[in-house]
Amino acid sequence: MARKDGVTAAAGQTLAAQVAEAGAQYAPQSVDMVRDQNMRAGIVGRDPREQRRNQWRLRVHYRKDGRLAFLGHLEIVNTINRCVRRAGLPLAVGNGFARRIRLQFSQALPVGAASADEYYDVYLTDRVDEDQALELLQGATPHSLAPIEVTYAPNPQPALESWLDHASWQVDFLEPCDPQVLKRGIEQLQGEGTLCYLRGAKEKHVNLSHCLLSWEVVGEVDALTLKLETATDEAASLRPQILIQKAMESQGLAAPRSLRVTRLSQWHEEGGVRSYAM
């Protein structure tokens, strides 16, 4: 089915191939090269705990452009991994058997979603000026994934994937949908308390009382927008597309297929206090 914004699954696959090709042409440093550099600097061979204490945690803020919505999380990870190595930063290498560079990402986006607020942490063996690090990363990364800003984050902080446990979303409907039907469907799901769906062969259960913090339906039939704030549950996270699908099915209707889903922001919340990655 054609999308009104010009994005289709086929187009997403084409863009995936283009990004993969762009990543391939960068000829990044191999992990062996990074390890050899660290050995020459006297970093490898130290006690692992000492190595980690002497590493710098560079946090990178970037977008996932809407044209890349159909790229999966692993494709994004692999592309950024190559770009980070291409940038020529003094990368820290883990102590495991595979000896990979230390790179951590915020929570995976559902396929079909774009984002204005994504993050990854890369660990360095030496502190690099933030402006210089940003310039190097921007020069090594395709425009649609290019970093917006960088900063140094505190090392004791938990991994981004678990720490950024709240998010805001906007879903734009690209085909007609009755706002009253959508509202009744979401209210019915909230009354039931738990949303169940299949992901592959595995059944997922989402506790809506915990995961769906707030929602608002804005607009009319031909120009409808759903705004959400969600929290991550230990068992599962709430995907906006699944919420809409189940809400419409509860009213005996098929879910709209043409949606533009965007994650607008992510944060950590504890005791009612929000903390942002930057």
Question: What residues does each domain of the chain span?
Answer: 9-161, 165-269
The whole-angstrom separation of Cα 140 and Cα 122 is 15
**Residue with the larger pLDDT of the pair 36 and 238:** 238
CATH 3.10.20.600 given to domain 9-161: no
pLDDT reading at 32 higher than 80:
no
Across the range 155-164, mean pLDDT stands at: 91
State how beta strands 113-124 and 56-64 pair: antiparallel
Q: Would you say residue 27 has pLDDT above 50?
A: no
> Do the domains at 9-161 and 165-269 have one common CATH topology?
yes
- Residue pLDDT, tens place only, 111-140: 999 999 999 999 999 999 999 999 999 999
Of 3.90.1150.10, 3.30.70.3190, 3.30.420.40, 3.30.70.260, the CATH number of 165-269 is 3.30.70.3190
State the pLDDT at residue 2: 42
Runs of H (alpha helix) within the chain = 9-24, 31-40, 48-53, 73-86, 130-140, 160-163, 179-192, 208-211, 240-250
**What does the pLDDT look like over 7-23, one tens digit per residue?**
455 555 555 555 555 55
Least-confidence region, from 26-35, 70-79, 204-213: 26-35
Instruction: Indicate the pTM of the whole model.
Output: 0.80
SS3 of 231, please?
A: strand
Q: How many helices and strands, by DSSP H and E, does the chain display?
A: 9, 11
Mean per-residue pLDDT of the chain: 86
DSSP letter, residue 98: S
C-alpha to C-alpha distance for 151 and 210, rounded to whole angstroms: 31
CA 47 to chain centroid: 33
Residue 87 backbone phi and psi in degrees, to 5: -65, -20
Dihedral angle, C-alpha 83, 15, 160, 266, nearest 10 °: 130
